[in-house]
Amino acid sequence: MTWEPVIGLEIHVQLKTRTKMFCRCAAGFGAGENTQTCPVCLGFPGALPVANRTAVEWTIRLGLALGCEIAERAVFSRKNYFYPDLPKGYQISQYDLPSCIDGKMILPTSEGDRVIGIVRAHLEEDAAKTVHVGGRTGRIGGADYSLVDYNRGGTPLVEIVTAPDVRSAEEAKRFLQLLRQTIVELGISDAEMEKGTLRVDANVSVRPQSSDELRTRTELKNMNSFNFVARGIEAEVERQVAVWESGGEVKQETFDFDAATGALTPRRAKEEADDYRYFPEPDLVPVEPPAELVERLRTELPELPAARIRRIERKLDLERATVLVTGGLDALWEQTVAVGAERVAAANVIANNVVGAGVAPAAVPARELARLVEARERLPRAAFDEAIAKLADPGFSADPYLAQEAVSDTDELEPIVARVLEANPGHVEAYRGGKEGLLGFFVGQVMKETQGKANARVVSELVRAKLSA
Amino acid sequence: MAAVVDTLRLTAEEAAGLLERGELSPAELRGAYLEAIAERDGELHCFLRTVEETEGDGVPIALKDVISTKGVETTAGSRILSGYVPVFDATVAGRVKKAGLSLLGKTNTDEFAMGSSTENSAWGPSRNPWDPERVPGGSGGGSAAAVTAGLAPWALGSDTGGSIKQPSALCGNVGLRPTYGSVSRYGVVAFASSLDQIGPVAKTVRDVALLYSIVSGRDPNDSTTAELPEPVRLPEGESLAGLRIGVPTELNEAEGIEPGVGEAVRRALELVTGLGAEVEECSLPRSVRYGLACYYLIAPAEASSNLARYDGVRYGPRAEATSYQELVDRTRDEGFGDEPKRRIMLGTYALSAGYYDAFYGQAQKVRTLIIEEHREALSRFDVLVSPTSPTVAFRVGERAADPLAMYASDLLTIPSCLAGLPGLSIPCGLSEGLPVGLQLIGPQFGENLLFRVGHALERALAFDTVPERWR
């Protein structure tokens, strides 16, 4: 039987507002432990939350970018449970009335647009950070002691929940890349998984291909890169298929993904179901954004990555368009092409060389880049690489690098090629006897003679012509 | 220094006048109250602590111990906050300081303001100045008794279901529970957030109005506050001509209202008619029938969540333990008294999965009905009148073992609290030698109206707020 994965994703995005969700403490990394705190985010007696207007607006912007309906009235609730990272004994979170519902994200693929439903996107506050010292598990049970840093506590967090519309690990990865790029372009979060400003949980089940049933799902947590998300999902899909095929039954479980071993470790099942006793937060008033505000935010939305992929695909191809857009490289590509660079060559140079050199695309002068793209085959490799690496330097000019243009003049190169062949009669014989891999050797010798200034492509043509003569 | 003023009779307004005219220095005035405290608080136990140093040079004030005061221990009457010294002032504490008032100290309260007698205070009960064998009411019994006993000219209390109005009634002074949202709750130890309100206690309606004008108004730190639609007016007139006064049958003939209490209220209503108002019976059937039950679902539900922060992790005492769970369990077990524990259990149950709709959800619907019923009555009348408490002050220990009897103390104050409406209690006479409180309920932000009616009636009643044993 062929099995089809059914995957839903829950994505937490930490907003990069200047201040926290419900108080005026600075939000963000870097300060000493427990220095970005106040009576509100420490849950002192009598302290009250006041909602961060920017966080509310950014949530609405994200909702609009995800094609969501924006609630005329969203309500914060209290989610009650005890944990040291939760100073009030409850987390304030939108619950049954979130700000954004019922959206979708388009995922351009070679088989047309895939539509991933967005069930909801809601605003909440992040918990503080705990470090459990001692014990084997790094968890609170069995630890010698625990340390709490409340700097992160109360940072605005948006949770996005997708419909179970994702059909493969690869698709999950592509969706997340596109979602991440959308978030980054909205300017509302750095959305970096390594830093925890973007966190992904996956709900996974499988079913026989072309059926529409929904079987028991499991939850995967603790995957801190898109590749790990994909690997975790792959491993879990494989496991579930094996369970069903051996006549077993998949149980509802939560797994931690171990990036080092690729293993899925089940979390210990709780004896009782959680009961968070949600109720509307009486210290806050409902979020009722004026229609004019929502409309203004809608008109201010930039062209979204999915649309740009489709637009650029028409001039290039889907794969390159996707790489450019999800890498935030398409603006540079468009500028470079606009000043005359060849499309595919420009895409390749940007996606490979510019990114590889760690150069910030926004700082690259398109005209100079276009000149390098045009001359790339005539430039010695080392000169080209150095030019790319220095692209973002202030006042960069391609001139000194283009001056090092490789020697392509056959009149100048032919005597050197002849000299090299004469000096290596054994290798010549071997080449003629079928060892065509020796071509590289001859080219290398010519490059050595010319101190790397020869055009390698021209040299290899000359060598081949001479030896087949 | 000999007492130069009789703090038993001095009103805050008069005290301000003495300071303004230079007839008394701030230190002399403050000294007079500290002396009264030294003389009478041993018996009454109104204060949990007094403050030595103070910034203000104006009229002194006492604050209920649920109000955070920077640098001054604030326990909310609970062992779980013993030793807790706030690093910030509650908005109301900041506002009274900004107005120049000088803090005398923190007054006793039932633990987390949960109670009607102050007997639930972890630090022992306060006593009623009229009869120390009796309770001063609660939860704000410390503030109310202090004002009557001349230990403070005025004080701030907090009211969730009657904690300002009921103690004022039992101690024979004036207490205002303001419109929900008119006074900031920021920095006030929360009991039930959708019901808690801060309000003044004093000997006269004018004093109450003055203090209300100082503490009220929108606070950017409390999202549920609003700017007052009109400025506070100190009442002056004595006429009630043109006003329509409604007398809700259910609030005035409820089971458990003592005959002497009912009688004192009836006499006051006759005076109201004499002052030119129209008095007519009306009805709030569902408010009284379901009010108490509704309140005892909503308030404990919110309390169960509000009290979750007391876990021993960040402040307050911490129990010895070998794990986080044990630390929380033991800290809370040792730190909370019986009443908070009872309400945490009630509230947790009312919010539980599978019970939410039947209890908390249903109570919210009933609350909406109560709000509508009050709105309807107040569309026909300017002010509604009833006894504040069904009884006069009861004996210490009399209801301590019977939570339901204790809860019934707030039967008449609770409905308008659920409706978010302002209520003013003024003394209207004596029954069995103890004060009887008259409750005036007004429309949302109708405080000025309550002050006007309360002031006129206060003049006509000429109630002597000094307990008979000290006259």
* pLDDT (tens digit per residue) in B23-70: 999 999 999 999 999 999 999 999 999 998 788 899 999 999 999 999
| Distance, CA of B82 to chain centre | 22
Q: How far is CA B158 from CA A140, A196, B179, B183, B228, in A?
A: 39, 43, 12, 10, 19
Using CA atoms, how far apart are residues B414 and B437, in angstroms rounded to an integer?
Answer: 15
Residue B175 pLDDT > 90, yes or no?
yes
Residue B309 pLDDT > 90, yes or no?
yes
Query: Please, are residues A92 and A76 in contact by the beta-carbon 8 Å criterion?
Result: yes
Residue A400's pLDDT band, with cuts at 50, 70 and 90, is confident
The CA-to-CA distance between both ends of chain A, in Å, stands at 59
- Count, in order, helices (H) and strands (E) of chain B: 15, 11
Tens of pLDDT, residue by residue over A281-324, are 999 999 999 999 999 999 999 999 999 999 999 999 999 999 99
> Which residues have a Cβ under 8 Å from the Cβ of A400 and sit 6 or more positions away?
none
Write down the architecture of domain B12-285+367-470 according to CATH. Alpha-Beta Complex (3.90)
Query: Please, are residues B217 and B182 in contact by the beta-carbon 8 Å criterion?
Result: yes
| Average pLDDT of span A231-239 | 95
| A114 three-class SS | strand
Tens of pLDDT, residue by residue over B348-357, are 999 998 899 9
Candidates A277, A278, A285: best to mutate against B (most CBs of B within 10 A) is A277
A window 126-145, beta carbon within 8 A of B: 140-141
Residue B1's pLDDT band, with cuts at 50, 70 and 90, is very low
Residue B257 pLDDT > 80, yes or no?
yes
> Which residues have a Cβ under 8 Å from the Cβ of B56 and sit 6 or more positions away?
B26, B96, B97, B99, B100, B101, B102, B103
Residue A139 pLDDT > 80, yes or no?
no
| Average pLDDT of span B416-422 | 98
Query: Which residues of B have a catalytic role annotated?
Result: 64, 139, 163
Residue B403 or residue A85, greater confidence:
A85
Selecting from B193, B224, B308 the residue whose C-beta is nearest the C-beta of A82 gives B308
Angle of helix A456-468 versus helix A439-449 axis, rounded to 10: 120
Residue B2's pLDDT band, with cuts at 50, 70 and 90, is very low
Selecting from A43, A46, A284 the residue whose C-beta is nearest the C-beta of B186 gives A46
Is the CB of A50 inside 8 Å of chain B's CB atoms? yes
Q: Is B302 close to A282, i.e. CB distance below 8 A?
A: yes
For domain A410-468, give the CATH number: 1.10.10.410
For residue A420, how many C-alpha atoms fall within 13 Å in the half-sphere facing its CB? 25
Tell me the range of A22-31, A104-113, A257-266, B291-300 where mean pLDDT is highest. Answer: B291-300
| Average pLDDT of span B244-253 | 97
Q: Is A45 close to B348, i.e. CB distance below 8 A?
A: no
In chain B, domain spans: 12-285+367-470
Q: Which residue of B has its CA nearest to A87?
A: B309
Residue A272's pLDDT band, with cuts at 50, 70 and 90, is low
Per the prediction, chain A carries an average pLDDT of: 92
Task: Give the pLDDT confidence score for residue A136 in this predicted structure.
Answer: 67
- Chain A residues close to B224, C-beta within 8 Å: 282-285
Q: Is A47 close to B187, i.e. CB distance below 8 A?
A: yes
Task: Give the pLDDT confidence score for residue A30 in this predicted structure.
Answer: 75
A window 265-324, beta carbon within 8 A of B: 273, 275, 277-279, 282-285
Query: Please, are residues A289 and A56 in contact by the beta-carbon 8 Å criterion?
Result: yes
Which two tokens mark A121? 């996107």
Q: Which residue of B has its CA nearest to A22?
A: B221
Residue A253 pLDDT > 80, yes or no?
yes
Task: Give the pLDDT confidence score for residue B80 in this predicted structure.
Answer: 98
| Average pLDDT of span A331-353 | 95
Task: Give the pLDDT confidence score for residue A44 in this predicted structure.
Answer: 98
Q: Which residues pair with B281 in a beta bridge?
A: B247
| Average pLDDT of span A226-234 | 94
Residue B251 pLDDT > 90, yes or no?
yes
Q: Is B311 close to A48, i.e. CB distance below 8 A?
A: no
Task: Give the pLDDT confidence score for residue A97 in this predicted structure.
Answer: 97
Angle of helix B12-20 versus helix B26-44 axis, rounded to 10: 150
Task: Give the pLDDT confidence score for residue A346 in this predicted structure.
Answer: 96
Task: Give the pLDDT confidence score for residue A137 in this predicted structure.
Answer: 66
Q: Is A44 close to B315, i.e. CB distance below 8 A?
A: yes
Using CA atoms, how far apart are residues B76 and A437, in angstroms rounded to an integer?
Answer: 87
- Chain B residues close to A279, C-beta within 8 Å: 301-302, 305, 351, 356, 360
Per the prediction, chain B carries an average pLDDT of: 96
Which two tokens mark A152? 């992160």
In chain A, domain spans: 3-297, 329-402, 410-468
Task: Give the pLDDT confidence score for residue A154 in this predicted structure.
Answer: 97
User: What pTM was estimated for this model as a whole?
Assistant: 0.91
Candidates A44, A93, A284: best to mutate against B (most CBs of B within 10 A) is A44
Residue A349 pLDDT > 90, yes or no?
yes
Count of beta carbons in the 10 Å neighbourhood of residue A207: 16
Q: Is B84 close to A87, i.e. CB distance below 8 A?
A: no
Residue A437's pLDDT band, with cuts at 50, 70 and 90, is confident
Using CA atoms, how far apart are residues B304 and B336, in angstroms rounded to an integer?
Answer: 12
Percent of chain B with pLDDT over 70: 99
Percent of chain A with pLDDT over 90: 74
- Chain A residues close to B323, C-beta within 8 Å: 140-141
One-character DSSP codes across B12-67: HHHHHHHHHTTSS-HHHHHHHHHHHHHHHHHHH--EEEE-S--S--SSEEEEETTB
Residue A244's pLDDT band, with cuts at 50, 70 and 90, is very high
| Average pLDDT of span A389-394 | 92
Using CA atoms, how far apart are residues A194 and A192, in angstroms rounded to an integer?
Answer: 6
| Distance, CA of B270 to chain centre | 27
| Average pLDDT of span B239-268 | 96
Please give the sequence-ordered ranges of beta strands (E in DSSP) within B81-217, or none if there are none.
Answer: 102-107, 154-159, 174-177, 197-202
To the nearest whole angstrom, how far is the Cα of B348 from the nearest Cα of chain A? 8
Q: Is A82 close to B311, i.e. CB distance below 8 A?
A: yes
Using CA atoms, how far apart are residues B82 and B48, in angstroms rounded to an integer?
Answer: 11
Query: Please, are residues B422 and B451 in contact by the beta-carbon 8 Å criterion?
Result: no
Q: Between A and B, how many residue pairs show a Cβ–Cβ distance under 8 A?
A: 109
Using CA atoms, how far apart are residues B344 and B111, in angstroms rounded to an integer?
Answer: 13
Provide the b/e sequence for B389-422 (b: ≥16 CB within 10 Å).
bbbbbbebebbbeeeeebbbbbbbbbbbbbbbbb
Residue B73 pLDDT > 80, yes or no?
yes
Query: Please, are residues B246 and B385 in contact by the beta-carbon 8 Å criterion?
Result: yes
Is the CB of A90 inside 8 Å of chain B's CB atoms? yes
Residue with tokens 């980054």: A184
Task: Give the pLDDT confidence score for residue B3 in this predicted structure.
Answer: 45
Q: Is A45 close to B308, i.e. CB distance below 8 A?
A: no
